[in-house]
Amino acid sequence: MSLLSALDRQHTVAPAGYSRWLIPPAALSVHLCIGQVYATSVYKNSFVQHFGVSQTAIGIIFSIAIVMLGLSAAIGGTWVEANGPRKAMFVSACFWATGFLVGALGIGTEQLWLVYLGYGVLGGIGLGIGYISPVSTLIKWFPDRPGLATGLAIMGFGGGALIASPLSRQLLSAYDAHYDPNVATSVASGGSLVWLFLTLGIGYFVIMMFGVANIRVPAPGWRPDGWDPSTVAKKPLVTTANVAAANAIKTRSFWLLWIVLFCNVTAGIGILEQASPMIQDFFRDNGVSSVSVAAAGGFVGVLSLFNMAGRFAWSSTSDLIGRKPIYMVYLGVGMVLYALLALTGSTATALFVLLAGVILSFYGGGFATVPAYLRDLFGTYQVGAIHGRLLTAWSAAGVAGPLIVNGFLDAQGKPGTLTASAYRPALFTMVGVLAIGFIANLLIRPVPERYHEPAQTTTPLEKEAAA
Amino acid sequence: MSVRLVISWLLVAVLLGYGIIETLITAVKLFE
C-alpha cells in the first residue's frame, strides 16, 4: 500500500475494539499546533525591526493567514469530507510546516512577500484544512456527546497560543543571547527568527503526525456501547435526517447561524485584540495607569485561559441543555456582561478581569459549540464541509470586530491617553451586536424536509462500505 | 491499545500543561 493510499478514507476505518478516546488526542495534536497563529504578537516587534517596515505591514501576515483559514475551510470542506480526516490532517501538516519553512526563507533573505506567501497563504491553508479535519470524525465517534468531543478539539486551538507564546520567547532567547523577552523594547535578531520558524515548522509537523497516525473513522454501523440513537430525535431542533453542504447554504437556518457566530466572534475579538491596552486604560487616572505593562501581559494570559476553558466547559454543557439555550446564554448573558463592563468595569481590577474573562469564555464556547449545533440541524452527512462554509463568519468578524473597537477609540483620543469612558461607545455597540445574534439564534428552526438527502444516500459510513 | 492511549494523552497533557503553567506564571503578575 503506497503512502498516499494509506491516507485514504477507506484505509482509515477503525478495526473492532478501537478506542474512540484515541480520537480526541489525535484531533488535539493538530489543533494545539495550528493554534500558534494566535501567538504571532510575540515576535511582531522583532519582525518590524528586521524588515524595517510598519506594524501594519507585519500585521498583514496574520490577516492573510486568517483570511486563508476561512477560505480554505469553506472551499476545502467538501474535499476533506470526501478524502477523510487522515489525508486532510496530513495535507494540513504539510501546508502548515511548509508555511514556516518558506517564512524562514523570507526572513533569511529579507523578502517580506515570501513571509506573506509562506506563513500567510500556505500556512493559512494548513490552518483551514487542519481546523475542520477532525470535526466531523469526532461527531461520528461521539454521537452521544458531540459538544464534549468538538469542545475538546477546539479547546486545543485556544491552547495552541498558550504553548506557542512562552515557547517562542524561550526559543528566541536561546537563539539570540541579546534578546530579553522581559524587556518590552528588546527585539530578536533575524537569524534567531529564522531558527525559530525552522524549529516550529519541523516540531509542529512531527506532533501533527501523531494525529495522522491515530485518527480513524468509525466502522459502518458502529455506535457507542449502550447508546440508543432514538434518544437523539427526542431532543428539540435535533434531526436524524441529513443535509448536503450545497443544500445547507440554501437554508435560512444556516445563515441565521452564520449571523450568530459572526456576532459572537465580533464581540469577543473586539476585547481580545485590545486586551492589553484596554486594562491599562480602564485604570488610568491623571494620565497614569495603575496597571503595569507586565500586569497587562498577565491579563492577556488570564483571558487566554478563560478562552480555552470556555471552549471545553460550555461546549460540554451544551450536550446537557441543548445548543439553542447555550447560545442564548453566550449572547444574552454576554450582553449583560458587556454593559456591566462598560458601566462598572473601572471600579475594581478583579471585577474587570472577571467580567472580561467570562465574556472570553463565551467567545471560545461559541466556536466550540457550533459544530454540534450544525450536527443537530443538518445531520452528520457533510457536517465538516458545512462547518467549513460557516467559518467564513469568523473571517468576516476578524475584520469587523477590530474595526468597530479601533474606529471608536480613534475618535476618542490617542493611545496611551484613553480612559474607561472612551470604551463605552464601543462596548455598547457590542451589546447591540450581541442582541442581533440573540434574535438570530431565536429564529433558528429545523431545516425543511425538502432539503433532506434521500434516506438511501445519507449515511457516509454506508458509502464507505460500498466503496 | 492502552499503551497507545496513554502515550497519546500524555503528549497532550505535556503540551497543554506546559502552556497552562507558563501562562499562570505570567498571569500572576496581574495580581502582584
* Closest listed residue to residue A253, CA positions, set A373, A388, A81, A369: A373
Picking from A8-12, A236-240, B25-29, which range would have the lowest pLDDT averaged per residue?
Answer: A236-240
DSSP 3-state assignment of A270? helix
A228-467 CATH pick, 1.20.1250.20, 3.30.390.30, 3.30.565.10, 1.10.10.60? 1.20.1250.20
Helices (H), ranges, A109-134: 112-115, 123-132
Local confidence band at A7 (pLDDT 50, 70, 90 cut-offs): confident
- Stated pTM of the model: 0.87
Contact A297 B32 (CB under 8 A): no
If you count residue pairs, one on A and one on B, with CB atoms under 8 Å apart, how many are there? 85
Which among B8, B18, B23 has CB closest to A305? B23
Is the separation of the CB atoms in A35 and A159 below 8 Å?
Answer: yes
CB contact (8 A) between residue B30 and residue A353: yes
Class for the domain spanning A1-225: mainly alpha
Q: What does the alpha-carbon distance between residue A113 and residue A284 come to, in Å, rounded to a whole number?
A: 40
Give the residue-averaged pLDDT of A211-233: 84
The answer to whether the Cβ–Cβ distance between B8 and A26 falls below 8 Å is yes
pLDDT in tens, A172-192: 999 999 988 877 678 899 999
Round to whole Å and give the CA distance between A48 and A59: 10
- Contact: A301, B11; criterion CB under 8 Å: no
Average predicted confidence (pLDDT) for chain A: 89
Question: Dmax over Cα atoms in chain A, in whole Å?
Answer: 73
Grid coordinates standing for A319? 450536550
| Inter-chain residue contact A298 with B27, CB threshold 8 Å | yes
B14 touches chain A (CB under 8 A): no
| B5/A299 touch (CB, cutoff 8 Å), yes or no | no
Phi then psi dihedrals of residue A204, to 5 deg:
-65, -35
For A336-386, write each residue's pLDDT tens digit.
999 999 999 999 999 999 999 999 999 999 999 999 999 999 998 888 899
Average pLDDT of the segment spanning A104-115: 96
Distance between CA atoms of residues A197 and A103, nearest Å: 7
The number of C-alpha atoms within 13 Å of A166 and in the hemisphere containing its C-beta is 20
**Cβ count near B18 (within 10 Å):** 14
What residue spans in chain A does CATH classification 1.20.1250.20 cover? 1-225, 228-467
Q: What are the chain B neighbours of A166 within 8 Å (beta carbons)? A: 18-19, 22-23, 26
Identity at A64, one-letter amino acid code: I
Alpha-carbon gap, residue A295 to B23, rounded angstroms? 12
Three cell numbers, residue A118: 509562506
CA-based nearest residue to A369, from A149, A157, A147 = A147
Question: Distance between the two ends of chain B, CA-based, in angstroms?
Answer: 46
- Asked if the Cβ–Cβ distance from B27 to A159 is below 8 Å, we say no
Least Cα separation, residue A20 to chain B (angstroms): 10
Confidence of residue A122 (pLDDT cuts 50, 70, 90): very high
Handedness of CA A323, A327, A333, A334 (dihedral sign): positive
Asked if B6 is an interface residue toward chain A (Cβ–Cβ < 8 A), one would say: no
Q: Collapse the DSSP code of A348 into the 3-class scheme (helix H, G, I; strand E, B; otherwise coil) and give the result.
A: coil
Per-residue pLDDT at A462: 40
A217: which strand partners? A13
- Candidate from A29, A162, A295 with C-beta closest to B11: A29
Burial of A427 by CB count in 10 Å (0-12 exposed, 13-18 middle, 19+ buried)?
Answer: buried
Q: What is the pLDDT of residue A53?
A: 87
Task: Please provide the DSSP assignment of A136-151 as one string.
Answer: HHHHHH-TT-HHHHHH
Q: Which helix (H) or strand (E) holds A288?
A: strand A288-289
Residue A465: per-residue pLDDT: 34
Which string of DSSP letters, residue by residue, matches A177-206? TT--TTSTT----HHHHHHHHHHHHHHHHH
- Tell whether the model's pLDDT for residue A297 goes beyond 60: yes
Distance from CA of A24 to the nearest CA of B (A): 9
Nearest to A162 among B12, B19, B29 (CB): B19
Tell me the backbone φ, ψ of residue A288, rounded to 5 degrees: -120, 130
Assembly ipTM: 0.94
Cβ of residue B30 closer than 8 Å to a chain A Cβ: yes
Per mean pLDDT, which range of A54-58, A104-108, A255-259, A344-348 is the poorest? A54-58
pLDDT at A318: 94
